[in-house]
Amino acid sequence: MKRSLLLILLGTLCGCTTVQPWQRDVLARPEMSLDAAPLDAAIDDHIYFSKEASSGGRGFGGGGCGCN
């Protein structure tokens, strides 16, 4: 019961059609991955962590350096 409620909620949230496994040609392209350029993301997090008061969001909040 809980599980079907959750699925209904998720379906309502996105209002989207289900993409079948054989329809994933576009989504499977490497550049469509949400983590397509992990080093760029790490470098950006490090630079902005040391220059701005905010960090993280995409993943865990950067840091681990004395450049607070």
- Where along the sequence are the contacts to another protein (CB under 8 A)? 6-7, 10-11, 13-14, 16-36, 38-40, 42-43, 47-48, 51-54, 56-61, 63-68
Question: What is the Cβ-side half-sphere exposure of residue 13, based on CA atoms within 13 angstroms?
Answer: 6
Min CB(1)–another protein separation in Å: 15
Contact 45, 58 (CB under 8 A): yes
- Tell me whether residue 1 or residue 65 sits nearer to another protein (CB atom): 65
Cα 62 from Cα 26, distance rounded (Å) = 31
- Tell me whether residue 1 or residue 66 sits nearer to another protein (CB atom): 66
Min CB(41)–another protein separation in Å: 10
Cα 10 from Cα 18, distance rounded (Å) = 12
